[in-house]
A = this chain, B = another copy of it.
Amino acid sequence: MKRITIRDVSVRAGVSTAAVSYVLNGREGKVSPETVARVRRAAEELNYIPDLSARSLVNNKSKLIGVVIPQTEDQKQLLLQNPFYSELICGIEARLRQSGYHMILSGIEKGEGYLDTSMQRNLDGAIITGIYQESFYEDLKKVRMPIVLVDSYIYDSYFHVVGIDDELGGYMATKHLIDNGHTNIALVTGMIRKDGVVEKRFLGYKRALKEAELFYNPDHVFEHSVTYQFGQEAGKLIAAKCPEITAAFATSDLMAMGVIQGIRDEGKEVPEHVSVVGFDDISIARLCTPPLTTIKQDAVSRGIMAADRLLTAIEKSKEGLPQEPTIMPLSLIDRDTVLKLT
């Protein structure tokens, strides 16, 4: 009923608690082979399980990583409905577990109060996704723990960054449409915020247009929230009101699927009337009908990479500044939603 403590192990092995601690932490240089064996056996027999709270108290290592993902504005619920985040989490969790760490998953209220959490829990590090106000990042720095930012263009050398080349992605998507003969290409996107990922994709979109000497028409930009619902609205508008538009680039697969539905709602077809390219390559992208042409970024790998960088930063604890951002590869997955014109 009572907890088995290191003291119990020590008396059973007939040594001091210090010796037990040394053995259990692998500082075996300090202790003779036979004692090691005795302690090991005692711990085994008693089924000893260390108390991480106590450990954390003395050496400030909790083996706990904070993971923050965005949440819906209204409901205060995590944005896991977007498979991109689900997959990211999968990657993170797998990598952390492998090294004996655990993950505390949470959203945050308007960018506030997370340093409370991290201090209370003695977090060893954190992986942050989403964009928040500047003050939030300033707060984070105060805590002095390694932090990996995913999907963020905060150019602050304090933070580790695991990202993709969003500008390139936007360019690739748009270029693909242009290469297939499209000249009036809509952009369907979430809010374009300074230094946000969608802004970069937007810039890539414009670069592709410019390079092909196509006119950039602001009226062809549909900007609102990253939801299926808005995609659908935009799709309807495109199909109903903009006959000149023959293709759309949606900055997220979720929106792209909405766009397709919206176009259909108006009695038109994809890709016959309007071609669509998405972004992310979430797992359902190839499952929906027609299978979505999209820019693939491997969210699971990104999660693994983010966790990996965080862990090495923690274990080294060089206190040296983070290296270069890690940029994960992108590729165009050409499925069935783009029609070749001419």
**Shortest Cβ distance from residue A337 to the other chain B in the assembled complex, whole angstroms:** 13
Q: Which residues of B contact A289 (CB under 8 A)?
A: 261, 264, 288-289
A51 vs B57: C-alpha distance when bound (angstroms):
8
Are A81 and B81 in contact (CB-based, < 8 A)? no
A288 vs B77: C-alpha distance when bound (angstroms):
23
Contact indicator per residue, chain A 251-278, by CB within 8 Å of chain B (1) or not (0): 0000001100100100000000000000
Q: Given A106-B93, A257-B287, is A120 in contact with B52 using a C-beta cutoff of 8 Å?
A: yes
| A258 nearest CB neighbor, chain B only | B287
Are B121 and A102 in contact (CB-based, < 8 A)? yes
Are A90 and B103 in contact (CB-based, < 8 A)? no
The reply on A342 being an interface residue by CB < 8 A is no
Contact indicator per residue, chain A 92-116, by CB within 8 Å of chain B (1) or not (0): 0110010000111111000000001
Q: Given A50-B120, A91-B77, A228-B287, is A105 in contact with B105 using a C-beta cutoff of 8 Å?
A: yes
Contact indicator per residue, chain A 8-39, by CB within 8 Å of chain B (1) or not (0): 00000000000000000000000000000000
Are A80 and B80 in contact (CB-based, < 8 A)? yes
Partner of A97, one of B57, B75, B106: B106
The reply on A87 being an interface residue by CB < 8 A is yes
Are B75 and A80 in contact (CB-based, < 8 A)? no
The reply on A187 being an interface residue by CB < 8 A is no
A75 vs B75: C-alpha distance when bound (angstroms):
33
Q: Which residues of B contact A78 (CB under 8 A)?
A: 89-90, 93-94
A76 vs B300: C-alpha distance when bound (angstroms):
12
The reply on A62 being an interface residue by CB < 8 A is yes
**Which residues of chain A have a CB within 8 Å of any CB of chain B?**
3, 49-54, 56-57, 62, 64, 75-78, 80-81, 83, 86-87, 89-91, 93-94, 97, 102-107, 116-117, 119-122, 228, 257-258, 261, 264, 283-284, 287-289, 300
The contact sample of 10 A-B pairs, CB cut-off 8 A, is: A51-B120, A53-B56, A53-B57, A76-B94, A77-B90, A78-B89, A80-B90, A102-B106, A103-B106, A261-B289
